[in-house]
Amino acid sequence: MCSPCIKHPFKHDKRTITIHEAIRKVCEYIGISVSDLQSKNRKQYLVDGRRMIAGILYCDNSFRLTKSEIGRFLGGRDHTTVMHLLRTLQTICEAYPDYKEKYRDRK
């Protein structure tokens, strides 16, 4: 499942990046605030952001997070919500190969 179609918006350098830094950088990249991302709001652009972050955190081997842990970082969401985000991300990436461009063009 984990061949991410979304390019990391941050580069790994010599030091390790924390999960909070990764979330903050992704939020900056896609133009939303961390507090909005972690809110209960279900606006489409926020759900898209959560989907992108869940995919990056789950597929990046340096984080080694479970779905429950990712859910906690996304505002206390359940692991089944993260499962749904990842399934939806995979479906979108298969159906729309240019999906990753959506966020590059957003800024």
Where does residue 89 rank: exposed (0-12), middle (13-18), buried (19+ CB within 10 A)?
A: buried
Contact indicator for 99, 68 with CB cutoff of 8 Å: no
In this predicted model, what pLDDT tens digit does every residue of 2-59 receive, in sequence order? Answer: 555 555 555 555 557 888 998 999 899 889 999 999 999 999 999 989 998 998 889 8
Q: 63 versus 54: which is more confidently predicted?
A: 54
Distance from C-alpha of 88 to C-alpha of 84, rounded to nearest angstrom: 6
Which of 44, 48, 23 lies closest to 35 in space, CA to CA? 23
| Band of pLDDT at residue 106, cut at 50, 70 and 90 | very low
pLDDT category at 107 given cuts 50, 70, 90 is very low
